[in-house]
Amino acid sequence: MTGSEVSTPADPATPLPVQAVVLVGGQGTRLRPLTLSTPKPMLPTAGLPFLQHLLSRIRSAGITDVILSTSYKASVFEEYFGDGSKLGLSIQYVTESEPLGTGGGIRNVYDSIKHDTVMVFNGDVLSGCDLGAVLRTHEENDADVTLHLVRVGDPRAYGSVPTDDEGRVTAFIEKTQDPPTDQINAGTYVFDKSIIEQIPADTAVSVERQVFPTLLRNGNRVYGYVDATYWRDMGTPEDFVRGSADLVRGIAPSPALSGHRGESLVHEGAGVAPGALLIGGTVVGRGAEIGARARLDGAVVFDGAVIEAGAVVERSIVGFGARIGPRALIRDGVIADGADIGARCELLRGARVWPGVEIPDGGIRYSTDV
Ligand code: GDD
Ligand code: MG
């Protein structure tokens, strides 16, 4: 890569000579049962598949050549995004017959890569990171690989990535109980294409546990780009609910969302009865129905779901076509597609209801009062 290639400010008319690769092949285990029917990056988030927010950010940075590295439920992505032209992108799809992991998923797209500079994205990250600045840092350091890094309160669920005074990465330790730093891998990397060729082909490889440690051992030039913009991995119900609410309220950036953002977002064809209260970044999907005096605070209600009169839904996800009965309470829960929660039920603290399960009126309580 020569300096001038990526130093140019992003101009939509002149795409950057940079290849985007988005890893979207994971099974989304921590978001089950929602991910039994929908792959994690396609879950509706503020009314759009999550991946659309990420793709619009890639496009806004001036990158147009995108490869989706797919495995789990691969066909869903192509059915929705097609060739990408509606988003101003050119999207290719490369599918693993067996899951190859994060490193294998990068290696597997090698033959389709058009540019020498490759920006790789975890497909579940919501962020305001300046992608052009990451590319410039990569170029200035003459790096082989550059990682976007952020600081978090609890680094144990992430890759811990210490750097030296020059910003050079000194170690990469994935998901340890004893992280050496609160600076973590934010899930966006710049790779020189030649480095990707060195990853073993046709075999399962973890970029975090194998590729990065090997590069460091071999003395490759691996650098960090640290920033403090909005950042969230959407991989757990808690984070998914928070990220969705932050998008609705305008706390999290997304070029895919235009116009006013406020306490709630109600999509077309949804019905909200008088006296219902929608706050905390609640989103109501197409054709959903919210009954009188229902209270939704930070709720994510997918298309066609029904929240009956007087029900309370707090920081929870209600799947496609699910029903929450009158005066039921759902707090920090996940209700899968088509589930039916009877009147006055209480589901709290991480409760997860599987698709189509029916709970009778008053069938589950967490307290003895009422
Ligand atoms: N193609 C393909 N094949 N993609 C995969 C595979 C696979 O076998 N396995 C996982 N992916 C994709 C997922 O779909 C996701 O977009 C991305 O790779 C990362 O997987 P996650 O399962 O979300 O990883 P994580 O959240 O536990 O940890 C990763 O992200 C953190 C930051 O969000 C790691 O990269 C951590 O180091 C990092 O801190
Ligand atoms: Mg993740």
**pLDDT averaged over the chain?**
95
Are 19 and 131 a contacting pair, CB within 8 Å? no
If you measure from the C-alpha of residue 369 to the centroid of ligand 1, how many angstroms do you get, rounded to a whole number? 43
289 and 206 share one domain:
no
219 and 270 share one domain:
no
Residues facing residue 183 across a β-bridge? 151
How many Cβ atoms from other residues are within 10 Å of residue 360's Cβ?
A: 12
Which of 199, 254, 260, 252 is CA-nearest to residue 230?
252
Q: Closest ligand to 40 CA?
A: 1
Res 8 pLDDT > 50: no
% of the chain residues with pLDDT over 70: 95
Q: Which helix (H) or strand (E) holds 67?
A: strand 65-70
In a domain, 243, yes or no: no
Atom of ligand 1 nearest to the CA of 108: 1
Q: Candidates 31, 35, 69, 102: which one to mutate for ligand 1, based on the most atoms within 8 Å of Cβ?
A: 102
Q: Candidates 23, 58, 108, 239: which one to mutate for ligand 1, based on the most atoms within 8 Å of Cβ?
A: 23
- Geometric angle at alpha carbon 223, from 124 and 109, rounded to 5°: 50
Q: pTM value?
A: 0.94
100 and 192 share one domain:
yes
Atom of ligand 1 nearest to the CA of 24: 14
Q: CB of 253 closer than 6 A to ligand 1?
A: no
End-to-end CA distance of the chain: 68
In a domain, 311, yes or no: yes
Overall average pLDDT of the 312-318 stretch? 98
Q: Report the CATH number at residue 65.
A: 3.90.550.10
Res 11 pLDDT > 70: no
Q: How many domains does the chain have?
A: 2
If you measure from the C-alpha of residue 125 to the centroid of ligand 2, how many angstroms do you get, rounded to a whole number? 7
In a domain, 251, yes or no: no
In a domain, 141, yes or no: yes
Compute the distance between CA of residue 283 and CA of residue 354 in angstroms, rounded to an integer: 21
Q: CB of 132 closer than 6 A to ligand 1?
A: no
136 and 198 share one domain:
yes
Q: CB of 213 closer than 6 A to ligand 1?
A: no
Last residue of a domain, one of 237, 252, 287: 237
In a domain, 80, yes or no: yes
In a domain, 256, yes or no: no
Q: What is the pLDDT of residues 322-356, one digit of tens each?
A: 999 999 999 999 999 999 999 999 999 999 999 99
Q: Report the CATH number at residue 280.
A: 2.160.10.10
229 and 313 share one domain:
no
| Residue type for position 160 | S
Res 232 pLDDT > 70: yes
Q: CB of 124 closer than 6 A to ligand 1?
A: yes
In a domain, 232, yes or no: yes
In a domain, 369, yes or no: no
- Label residue 14 by pLDDT band (50, 70, 90): confident
Q: What is the pLDDT of residues 261-280, one digit of tens each?
A: 899 999 999 999 999 999 99
Instruction: Identify the domain containing residue 32 by its residue range.
Output: 18-237
Which of 272, 273, 300, 296 is CA-nearest to residue 285?
300
Q: CB of 159 closer than 6 A to ligand 1?
A: yes
Atom of ligand 1 nearest to the CA of 124: 16
146 and 55 share one domain:
yes
